[in-house]
Amino acid sequence: MTKTYVALSIFLAAGCSPGDENPPLPSGNTAIVLTSGGFGAGGAVNSVGLADHKVVMAIDTSIDQDSAIRIAGAKAYVLNRGPGSLFIYDTSSWKSPIEILTGDASVSHNTSDPSDLAVVGTKVYVSLLGNDSAHALGVLDSSQPQGAIKWINVPTATADTDGKPEAGGLYSCNGLLYLLTQDYDEMTYLPTGGGRIAIIDPAKDTLGDIIQLTGKNPNAMAAESGDCETVLVAASGPFGGAPDNTGGIERVDLGKKKSLGFVLKDTDLNGRPSSVDVVSKTLAFATIYFDLEPQPMGPPQLSSSKVVSFNPSTGKLIGDVTDAAGFIPFATVAPSGELYVGVDFFPGSTDSSKLKAGVYIGKADGSKLTAPPLDIGQNPYAIAFQ
C-alpha cells in the first residue's frame, strides 16, 4: 500500500501568550513552496510573494520529490524523505545547503523515512516513521553535521507488535515538544488502537508522559488557543476506508495531558481528515479524504480530497472550501491572512473532474476558493513562510 504524507502544522517557537484568544498567524512575507515531480523525478524549492503572488520557480532543484520544510530564523530545514537526509539552507541565498543524514553508524538513514522536524537552537529533532522505538526520534545538530548525535526512545503501543511507534508530526509549545505516534501495523497499515502524543523535554532530551488519543492514525496537530496548550488533532483512522467513527478532529489539553474528545468525527465530516489549521474559536480548516471508489482488488477506497471549514466551538461543519482534488498536501493560513491550498494532480491521471495542480489562494473566511491556481512548475507538496 502506498503511504500518503500530509502537511503537518508545527510552531518552531510558541509565539503565543495567555492573553491571546486565538492562535497567532505565522510570520513572513514570502511563501516557500516545495514541489514534487513524482517518483524518481525530484523536487524543487520555489517561492510565492504574499503581497503580489509572484512566483519564482526552481530556486533549488536538488531536493527529493518527497519532502517537508520548516523555517526558523534565517535558516530553512528541508527533509528529504526518500534518501533520509536533512538540508539546511541560508534563506538569503538558498545555495549549497548543509546536508545531515538521518541515521548514524548503527542505524541506516536510507530506511529511516523521516516524517517531521522541530528546531530548538542548533538541535533538530526528526521523527522517523520507519525506525523502531529506540530510534524513533533522532536528534541532529547543525553545528555537528555528522548524522544523528543521539536518539530518544519512544515506546511502541502495547497492541502494536511491529516494534515501531510510527513517529509522525511534531509540535512545539512552552519549551516542550509533542510527538504524534500513528501506531499502525506496518504489514496491514491498520491502526492497532488510538494514536498517542509523546511529550519530549528538549532541555534534557528525555521522554516524559504520553497522552492517549481516541482517534486512530493521527496525522496533524495545530494550536487552538492563544497559549498553544489546547490543540486540535486530525486523525485519519484506517487508511483509505470509509468513515467509521475511529477518526476525526480531536481536542487535546496539553497542559492537563488529556484528550477532551472529538470535536467532529469522521462520519460528521463525511470523510477522513488528514490536516487541520485553526484561524479562530469559530473557524478552522481541515483536509479530508472522501468518495469511495471501486478498486481492482480489495474493498473500495477513498479516492478524492477537499478542504472543508468548520466551527471548533460548536463542532459544526460549515462547508466546502475547495472542489474535489486527487491529493491536497497542505491547506494553511498565511501571514497575509489568506488560505493557501496545494493541489497535486497525480501523474498520468486523466480525471478532468478533479482540480488542476497548483496553489489555490483565497480569503481564509470559510468561503469557497474560486481563483485559478498559481502554476509552480511541479506539483505543490509542502509550504512554509519566511
The model's pLDDT over 319-351, given as tens digits with 9 standing for 90+, comes to 999 999 999 999 999 999 999 999 997 655 667
| Residue in the structure block whose three cell numbers are 517557537 | 13
Gap between the Cα atoms of 68 and 66, Å rounded: 7
**In contact, 90 and 101? CB cutoff 8 Å:** no
Give the mean pLDDT of 41-64.
Answer: 97
Residue owning grid cell 492563544: 226
pTM for the whole thing? 0.94
- Cα angle 324, 327, 331; round to 5: 85
At residue 126, does pLDDT exceed 50? yes
**When comparing pLDDT for 353 and 275, which is higher?**
275
Helix or strand or coil: residue 328?
strand
Q: At residue 322, what is the residue type?
A: T
Give the gyration radius of the chain's Cα atoms: 19
- Residues 199-203 have a mean pLDDT of 98
Please say whether the beta carbons of 301 and 246 come within 8 A: no
Beta-bridge mates of residue 78: 69, 87
Q: What is the pLDDT of residues 68-121, one digit of tens each?
A: 999 999 999 999 999 999 999 999 999 999 999 999 999 999 999 999 999 999
Helix or strand (DSSP H, E) at 268: helix 266-269
Nearest to 284 by CA among 313, 257, 305: 313
Q: For the chain, what is the largest distance between any 2 Cα atoms, rounded to a whole number of angstroms?
A: 54
Backbone torsion region of residue 112, taken as left when φ is above 0, otherwise alpha when ψ lies between -120 and 50, otherwise beta: alpha
Residue 53 pLDDT: 98
Domain topology for 30-265+375-385:
Methylamine Dehydrogenase; Chain H (2.130.10)
Percent of the chain with pLDDT over 70: 94
pLDDT the model gives residue 100: 98
- What average pLDDT does the chain have? 93
